[in-house]
Amino acid sequence: MGSITIRAKEGIAGAVSDRDAGVTTFFRTEYQGVVRTLYLIVHDREQAQDIAQDAFVQLFARWRRISHYDRPEAWVRRIGIRMAVRAAGRERVRPRLERELEFATLPKPVDLDVLRAVRGLPASQRAAVALFYLEDRPISEVAEVLACSEVTAKVHLHRARKRLAELLGERELAQEGQDAT
């Protein structure tokens, strides 16, 4: 493979490299100190490094202005600390939210025979069963999602129950379905 050479105009290359050199030197000097400070807030080394990098990205975007400050290291630390405090607050709340979500989304016991039988249903009946029984949606919502009338949604469910009873060997339910028709 060949190499690619890019030639920039002299004025542009000089301005960019001067800025890059300043930021690079500043980064090398301050980065580890900023990470140590942020680690004391978040108690996680990788998270402290990520936050420090984000703070330095913000610094880089504003380097022309901030490089003229008396203490640009204070600016980048202040930004990093604000970000770390927000992250620590989120982490404090996370376990409680996860417990609440975990409880709400615990899977109901699944009967593999029922799942196999549902696979044997036509798509419209599978969708009706999923919406009505798994998501506990009322018939009106089932009909809305399936873009059909409520009567059609009820028919899908009735036929699905009848077919499931046959597939699962529930004779009483299958016979009730035959008697009703």
Length of the chain: 181
3-state secondary structure of 71: coil
On whether the pTM is more than 0.75, the answer is: no
Q: Can you give the pLDDT of all 181 residues of the chain as single tens digits? A: 444 444 444 544 444 566 678 888 899 999 999 999 999 999 999 999 999 999 999 999 998 898 889 999 999 999 999 999 999 988 888 887 777 766 555 556 667 788 888 888 998 999 999 899 888 899 999 999 999 999 999 999 999 999 999 988 876 554 555 555 4
User: What is the per-residue pLDDT for 161?
Assistant: 93
* 8 A C-beta contact, residue 155 and residue 100: no
User: What is the per-residue pLDDT for 105?
Assistant: 58
User: What is the per-residue pLDDT for 181?
Assistant: 46
Same domain, 100 and 119: no
Same domain, 123 and 63: no
Domain span at 136:
112-180
- The domain boundary, picked from 87, 104, 121, lies at 104
User: What is the per-residue pLDDT for 95?
Assistant: 81
User: What is the per-residue pLDDT for 18?
Assistant: 66
- Tell which phi-psi region holds residue 6, choosing left (phi > 0), alpha (psi between -120 and 50) or beta: beta
User: What is the per-residue pLDDT for 36?
Assistant: 94
3-state secondary structure of 179: helix
Same domain, 77 and 133: no
Count how many domains the chain has.
Answer: 2
CA distance 57 to 27: 10
User: What is the per-residue pLDDT for 159?
Assistant: 95
Same domain, 152 and 74: no
**CATH number, position 150:** 1.10.10.10
User: What is the per-residue pLDDT for 19?
Assistant: 66
Same domain, 100 and 118: no
Same domain, 95 and 32: yes
Longest dimension (CA), the chain: 90
User: What is the per-residue pLDDT for 109?
Assistant: 61
Residue 162 tokens, joined: 């009848």
Residue 38 tokens, joined: 């942020």
**CATH number, position 45:** 1.10.1740
